[in-house]
Amino acid sequence: MADLSANMTIERRSLHLELVERLRPLIIEGQMAPDKKVPEKALCEQFSVSRTPMREALKVLAAEGLVRLEPNRGAWVTSITVEEVEEVFPVLAVLEGLSGELACEKISDEEIVKIRSLHDAMIQSYRDRDLATYFKLNQDIHLGILSAARNETLANSSMALSARMLRARYAANMSDERWGEAVDEHNEIIRALEARDGKKLASILIVHMKNKQSSVMRWLQNAPDDEAN
């Protein structure tokens, strides 16, 4: 009986984590709007699951700061605030810098080739003015560097904070000027990574993240109240 119970626990955990992966993009991409109640019943029907794994998934999203749980009122999508951006981005910048420094010490040749391939594809998406593909490849590059750092504590901390800011970064569509600057920064990132220059890569990543913060702050200051609050 003990073995059967253990197997059932693993299955339930896998289901709620799969739900997290399904729900997170809905929030990040704005399909579930800030300050709106999460439609738990409708989502359970959509994904053919019971309330138990759905509520476990919402607890994970609450820990990531994407939803808030209110007693007797259910789950609500959180808003994006200036205060949160000012608090989270500087920490995220330091973690990004550390991931770059560690990655240069531990990354394999194969991983560098893979990240270079992602970079080249991202540059092509920039030339094609395909922002959605550019954004996805951009995230894959940063995750590749983070993975190459070989530090689980760093990865968990960075990914948790990044999840909170992805919504703002997705919503804050870049100006053509900022997009060009971001591409230039990524060219510097790939060069430093290929040279395995940890100190330089750390410095570039920190500046890159600070510039992202500035872009998000400009969007927040100009966004309608129902988008930014």
The confidence score (pLDDT) of residue 150 equals: 98
Q: What is the pTM of this model?
A: 0.79
Domain limits of the chain? 2-77, 82-228
Q: Which CATH architecture has domain 82-228?
A: Up-down Bundle (1.20)
Q: Which CATH architecture has domain 2-77?
A: Orthogonal Bundle (1.10)
What is the pLDDT tens value at each position of the chain, 229 positions in all?
444 444 434 344 589 999 999 999 899 888 898 899 999 999 999 999 999 999 999 999 998 889 999 999 999 999 888 999 999 999 999 999 999 999 999 999 999 999 999 999 999 999 999 988 999 999 999 999 999 999 999 999 998 888 888 888 777 767 889 999 999 999 999 999 999 999 999 999 999 999 999 999 988 887 655 444 4
Indicate if the alpha-carbon torsion angle 7, 8, 11, 13 is positive or negative: negative
The confidence score (pLDDT) of residue 87 equals: 94
Cβ 15 vs Cβ 55: under 8 Å: no
* Cα–Cα distance, 223 to 217 (Å, whole number): 10
Task: Report the amino acid identity of residue 203.
Answer: S
Cβ 215 vs Cβ 178: under 8 Å: yes
The confidence score (pLDDT) of residue 6 equals: 43
Cα–chain center distance at 4: 36
